[in-house]
Structure 1
């Protein structure tokens, strides 16, 4: 039998270069090997553009439409993927694919970097400096992903041969982390703060911000604080004035965005249409199946700065009322939103072209395009497979999604994240000063800027209290951006929260059903409760980790458990893929696999 070549070796042997325009049009124009390429500046540019592929920037928490949600912020009906069911093994497809893609990316960029360093007169000094900076930025990002997900991994900083790839062993992640810092340092030294309008390449700020992320993910708070502060001191970024607007497909330019992958319909760079369907309400032709968790809904504080179980402003029947304005921009609201708005718990709100109202008595909703009522497909009274907990995501979703094509830019680093990383790192170092409070309050001020409420300013300097505040602030600010999973991993809370935890949904028909509601299909599991029990009949209690307890609602028949989650401790690291270990006997396995 011929000896198989493993993924890493195969990708070292053959490098495909895909051309694109300066605005990162990644559609393939032509291809060439490293042996007959790199003859012009444009060929170097096209080779580096390959590094911006979204495949090489995988999101944490989304395996696509059929396995979204690795954390306690996102649910998918009653489905659990391998991470939340605790069934990750050495053949876990996501771990295999990401391993392959990261080494593919590293191999390609190392080849480009070698050609940059050995070229003679093809590039101007300015081009050589920028291209070397971009290559180092990519390497820093790619290696960060590997060590934060797999721990010790095979490391090399120059192209290696196929034979070497069969023998290379795992390298201590602490050593690789120092190399990552070096990559980002070279990148930040070589890259400009900004480019001419229309160019979307990595910048000095991106290198500093991603260095801060690498450091904070690995528990190096001192380096994280320094890198984040250096990014802040560039004075190149500021928070977008409108939180909700920032994430819409129409927002293509913002001083808050530090690094993104542009999407456009023109170049067929859009969100996967299947995933769009899973996010859209059924009233808009979607499935309403990828949904915010009740835990996420409960985590947003009230406008007095207190958690829902401490604030006198919280109304369990109107869970969106008097809450952090980012909640209304993240989850589609319903019911009363503030005192004096004239709304009641059974009121809906406009989302896209229609009213959204999951209340079981509202079997018809208003269509704003036709100015008429139509069947409400987002209530359990009419459709059993609408949102299982009554919630839908709103962040980044608007009428542009109606034709099932969305071109929202993929924002991978923004200034709010840098501010919160700086604050967190300084809190963990117990170096709490005015700069820490200013960073947190700058983010919170923007959150409240377009509302009728004022930011309940953070003033405490107590380390334990601030740790809770900044962690919850990250959850509120970054919800739906696929960063929660790695936060739980680095805080060592994934097993605490998800091992033996649950996901919750609306209660089935029960003793407190309203007999006045006409059920169109009596065999459906219809959630119909008396007015005094909608939406939550009780206020859930919040623990020291910001996690809500919904079991009292379940015990009272006001909610049901949809799934029971599991997270064994060995899943803090992913397995080394079996295929790789069979072909390279020097690759050891992570504990537990």
Structure 2
């Protein structure tokens, strides 16, 4: 099942060699002396054959994977992006500090996202600076170049999205050069990414065989391009990018949902781009943050009830309008994706045991075990039912970065915002395919009213992609990141008699009053340039307010 990993990291010795090569060839990053270790391969002796190029390409990919690190690839950091955007929190309050008014340039996790992206960009630049000298098949070489240009553009797009103006570095630099770069404005970085992604898409095939899953493809480049164009509100261009992927005829909406995030769905043709892992060789520990303590995890991530409330009832109506909604049994008769995504007290069964977070019990995950630092809900989406496949500290599940569902919903939104006619046929080709997958079977959308449909599309993206790393991006481009975070958040349902309940603070509907954030509008839309970078490079200018 993990054949692409065999291509890149098929054994520990191959992985170690790939990583060593990538590190030794990633010349001259900030804070690293420009000195070639005597025990490492040099650029002059390495870039000769196709096998050298393959190893270097493996190093580029591996540099983005992370184990528990923060970058724009690793599962932990992608989940955190959604938590930051108002979907949840965790015990150490990492996501809270991005949107509660306390964010500052010295915060280590800001620096981790920034340095993680530039670390991979450096390796991309090194690859592109040397690949022309390699003797190998020209077509295969061009595909590799397309893959690396896509990876580099993906990182630059995210840097510009979250940090604004950033250094746009396209070649390996000396230490002196890297410590004196100036910033390119966000629009300039976006323009660079758009050019790169279009060029890269032309070099790569639309898809790859299952044995090569994990490689960038034309669909990967175009899907990233679609994200970029939507962020820029280039609606007609974005629609065209997504339409091209649809016209490939390769990608599908999988009839399954939960399995897409487990080993069973890793080869699904719904997955366009994913971070690759393999148990015992190149694993990750996302599950230690997701798995409740009942099953041996370090339970840190917990959703907010505001996400839970966004799931429609099974009749396709929101909870404030549906006759199926029962305020005393709020989790019944809901969109099936709720139970596939969120672990709910006394409802979710996992590995033969019912999850319990009831306060006042002796259960490991009881609410009062960690008062004030978690909501009573857990994330179920990525938890592998088979404990031999989903070990909390040695998990091999891939993490999907882009799915075909995003292409269809992005196409519909772009058509809507461009002013194109909205027909039932268009709805059936896009959002209704996503909602109608066999495991979900939510009622078809029929309205063509622009305002009503916009609300439905935004809710559908929220639900369909929960904890996949898209929510912050969506909230930024929709201009709602402040309103989504500057409010009181709630947790699990604690009582049907809120007026007489005293054990924990609850709202008028009996939900636990959990966290409050205070997003600073006009400031927190951009993250600060890390203070460590500001101290090294006097040419960098800080974002307003930091």
Partner of 2:410, secondary structure, is: helix
Asked if 1:568 is matched to 2:523, the reply is no
Distance 1:67 1:131 in 2: 29
CA RMSD of aligned residues (A): 3.0
- Tell me the equivalent position of 1:146: 159
Distance 2:82 2:226 in 1: 27
Asked if 1:439 is matched to 2:452, the reply is no
- Tell me the equivalent position of 1:396: 382
Change (3 A) 1:567 1:83: same
Structure number with the higher helix fraction is 2
Give per-residue Cα distances to partners, 1:331-382, cap 9 Å, x unaligned.
1356xxxxxxxxxxxx644222212244569x6xxxxxxxxxxx7444458x
Aligned residues, how many? 504
Asked if 1:193 is matched to 2:206, the reply is yes
Contact 1:237-1:256 within 8 A present in 2 as well? yes
**57, 60, 71: which is aligned to 2:85?**
71
Partner of 2:262, secondary structure, is: coil
Change (3 A) 1:210 1:430: same
Distance 2:103 2:366 in 1: 34
- Tell me the equivalent position of 1:578: 531
Change (3 A) 1:360 1:21: closer
Q: Per-residue deviation at 1:22?
A: 1.5
Distance 1:493 1:60 in 2: 25
- Tell me the equivalent position of 2:349: 350
Partner of 1:576, secondary structure, is: coil
Asked if 1:239 is matched to 2:260, the reply is no
Distance 2:83 2:250 in 1: 33
Give per-residue Cα distances to partners, 1:171-217, cap 9 Å, x unaligned.
12212212211211121111112334421311111111111112223
- Tell me the equivalent position of 2:407: 418
Contact 2:283-2:396 within 8 A present in 1 as well? yes
Distance 1:506 1:566 in 2: 24
More divergent stretch after superposition (214-223 vs 322-331): 214-223
Asked if 1:407 is matched to 2:411, the reply is no
Q: How does 1:462-481 map to 2 (within 5 A)?
A: 462-481=449-468
Contact 1:84-1:498 within 8 A present in 2 as well? yes
Q: Per-residue deviation at 1:415?
A: 0.4
Unaligned residue ranges in structure 1 (runs of 5+)? 1-19, 335-346, 364-374, 514-524, 528-550
- Tell me the equivalent position of 2:38: none
Q: Per-residue deviation at 1:68?
A: 8.6
- Tell me the equivalent position of 1:256: 270
Distance 2:538 2:142 in 1: 39
Give per-residue Cα distances to partners, 1:132-165, cap 9 Å, x unaligned.
1112111211111111111111113333443332
More divergent stretch after superposition (394-403 vs 147-156): 394-403
Partner of 2:400, secondary structure, is: strand
Partner of 2:86, secondary structure, is: coil
Distance 2:310 2:185 in 1: 37
- Tell me the equivalent position of 1:316: 327
Contact 1:352-1:398 within 8 A present in 2 as well? no
Larger Rg: 1
Contact 2:527-2:543 within 8 A present in 1 as well? yes
- Tell me the equivalent position of 1:159: 172
Contact 2:375-2:512 within 8 A present in 1 as well? no
Contact 2:432-2:444 within 8 A present in 1 as well? yes
Distance 1:306 1:277 in 2: 35
- Tell me the equivalent position of 1:87: 102
Change (3 A) 1:379 1:586: closer
Q: Per-residue deviation at 1:67?
A: 10
Give per-residue Cα distances to partners, 1:19-57, cap 9 Å, x unaligned.
x85144472125323222111111111111222131495
Partner of 1:194, secondary structure, is: coil
Q: Per-residue deviation at 1:60?
A: 9.2
- Tell me the equivalent position of 1:178: 191
Q: Per-residue deviation at 1:85?
A: 2.1
Contact 2:263-2:397 within 8 A present in 1 as well? yes
Contact 1:291-1:391 within 8 A present in 2 as well? yes
Change (3 A) 1:220 1:94: farther
Contact 1:72-1:293 within 8 A present in 2 as well? yes
Give per-residue Cα distances to partners, 1:357-410, cap 9 Å, x unaligned.
44569x6xxxxxxxxxxx7444458x5669954322221213334642322101
Unaligned residue ranges in structure 2 (runs of 5+)? 22-40
- Tell me the equivalent position of 1:40: 49
Change (3 A) 1:24 1:231: farther
Contact 2:83-2:467 within 8 A present in 1 as well? no
Asked if 1:28 is matched to 2:16, the reply is yes
Contact 2:160-2:186 within 8 A present in 1 as well? yes
Distance 1:281 1:59 in 2: 24
Change (3 A) 1:57 1:43: farther
Contact 2:375-2:514 within 8 A present in 1 as well? no
Distance 2:499 2:195 in 1: 64
Distance 2:263 2:418 in 1: 38
Distance 2:335 2:498 in 1: 32
Asked if 1:484 is matched to 2:471, the reply is yes
Distance 1:380 1:197 in 2: 43
